[in-house]
């Protein structure tokens, strides 16, 4: 028998909420089916830091009927949750109607991820939100969103460029007394990727701002008060890799994984 002192530590199990493709292109061969998926960069980002990544398919079967596995069962099996990017949130999730049809988002995903987020908080499991994930956290905490930055803020800098995609960047400014400033040794001005046309309008309850876009004040990072670790970033740290000039994403993920490790310790 292997002595306890030299047994291998179990890798952290990090859950990833899925993106949902409700109407797959015919050429994919899934006629009248729904696909749930994740973009591989985010899984590999987690795995490079010696944690296991698991996609958490929705619990709906046939629309709104719950499967035999409950949300609490899901959450009890993971050490932390990452809410990934993707489709817009449906404005009805924060009490508005879509100003344009293409901003209708994905209401089914909203409902699932809000439930998933709340169960993680209830069980004290750390949560990391990326892009849409930050917006989801804000809405789940009672906040709202700008349905389109360019519409609400005509003088805002571009936060998305469909041609440049993840090559589009802009500066952020980290709040001096924030946890984020601590992670980066007090250095507060950085460059990040930017792939979003929506942003926080009304900040949710018990959330604090950790970083903004200095040119227009758009909120770029948040953290939740209290004992449960919840943080969100409007940019995509998983896309930064080792790109010169961009904010090093490792401290963000290592801080999240450290919280997951503390939570999973007996």
Q: What is the mean pLDDT of residues 54-80?
A: 79
Task: Give the burial string for 49-58 (b: 16+ CB within 10 Å, else e).
Answer: eebebbebeb
**Any alpha helices (H) in the chain, and if so which ranges?**
40-47, 71-76, 107-123, 132-140, 149-152, 179-183, 250-264
Residue 228 lies in a domain: yes
Choosing from 170, 190, 196, 236, the catalytic residue is: 236
What pLDDT was estimated at residue 24?
Answer: 81
Known catalytic residue: 238?
A: yes
User: Is the pLDDT at 160 greater than 90, yes or no?
Assistant: yes
What pLDDT was estimated at residue 4?
Answer: 52
Residue 74 lies in a domain: yes
What pLDDT was estimated at residue 151?
Answer: 94
Q: What is the mean pLDDT of residues 103-109?
A: 91
Residue 4 lies in a domain: no
User: Is the pLDDT at 189 greater than 70, yes or no?
Assistant: yes
Radius of gyration (Cα) for the chain, nearest Å? Answer: 19
Q: Domains in the chain: how many in total?
A: 1
Q: Could you give the C-alpha distances from 186 to 118, 164, 245, in angstroms and in order?
A: 32, 30, 17
User: Is the pLDDT at 64 greater than 50, yes or no?
Assistant: no
Residue 5 lies in a domain: no
Condensed to tens digits (0 to 9), the pLDDT of residues 19-63 reads 988 888 888 888 888 888 898 999 999 999 999 999 999 886 544
DSSP of 168-210, one letter per residue? -EEEEEE-TTSHHHHHTTT--EEEEE---S-EESSPPTTEEEE
Do residues 74 and 18 lie in contact, with contact meaning Cβ atoms separated by under 8 Å? no
Choosing from 113, 119, 120, 131, the catalytic residue is: 131
Rounded CA gap, 120 and 130, in Å?
16
Known catalytic residue: 227?
A: no
CATH code, domain with 38: 3.40.50.880
Q: Which of 59, 164, 68, 163 is nearest to 109 (CA)?
A: 59
The pLDDT-based confidence of 198 (bands split at 50, 70, 90) is very high
What pLDDT was estimated at residue 100?
Answer: 86
Structural domain boundaries, residue 221: 10-264
In terms of Cβ atoms closer than 10 Å to its own Cβ (0-12, 13-18, 19+), residue 181 is middle
Residue 99 lies in a domain: yes
Choosing from 146, 190, 238, 240, the catalytic residue is: 238
Condensed to tens digits (0 to 9), the pLDDT of residues 234-255 reads 999 999 977 889 999 999 999 9
* 6-20, 157-171, 220-234: the lowest-pLDDT one: 6-20
pTM: 0.92
Rounded CA gap, 239 and 243, in Å?
9
Residue 157 lies in a domain: yes
The pLDDT-based confidence of 256 (bands split at 50, 70, 90) is very high
Residue 1 lies in a domain: no
Residue 48 lies in a domain: yes
What pLDDT was estimated at residue 164?
Answer: 93
């Amino acid at each position: 028998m292997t002595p306890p002192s030299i047994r291998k530590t179990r890798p952290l199990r990090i859950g990833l909420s899925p993106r949902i493709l409700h109407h797959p292109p015919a050429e994919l061969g899934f006629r009248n089916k729904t696909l749930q998926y994740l973009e591989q960069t985010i899984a590999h980002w987690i795995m490079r830091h010696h944690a296991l990544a698991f996609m958490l398919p929705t619990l709906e079967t046939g629309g709104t009927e719950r499967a035999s596995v409950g949300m609490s069962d899901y959450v009890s099996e993971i050490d932390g949750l990452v809410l990934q990017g993707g489709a817009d949130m449906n404005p009805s999730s924060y009490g508005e109607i879509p100003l344009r049809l293409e901003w209708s988002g994905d209401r089914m995903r909203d409902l699932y991820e809000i439930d998933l987020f709340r169960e993680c908080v209830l069980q004290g499991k750390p949560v990391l939100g990326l892009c849409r994930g930050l917006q989801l956290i804000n809405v789940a905490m009672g906040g709202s969103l700008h349905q389109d930055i360019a519409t609400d803020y005509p003088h805002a800098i571009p936060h998305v460029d469909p041609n440049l995609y993840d090559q589009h960047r802009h500066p952020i400014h980290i709040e001096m007394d924030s946890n984020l400033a601590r992670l980066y040794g007090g250095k507060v001005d950085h460059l990040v990727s930017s792939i979003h046309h929506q942003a926080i309008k009304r900040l949710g309850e018990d959330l604090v701002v950790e970083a903004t876009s200095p040119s227009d004040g758009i909120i770029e990072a948040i953290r939740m008060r209290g004992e449960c670790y919840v943080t969100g970033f409007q940019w995509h740290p998983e896309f930064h890799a080792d790109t010169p000039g961009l904010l090093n994403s490792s401290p963000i993920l290592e801080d999240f994984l450290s919280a997951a490790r503390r939570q999973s310790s007996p």
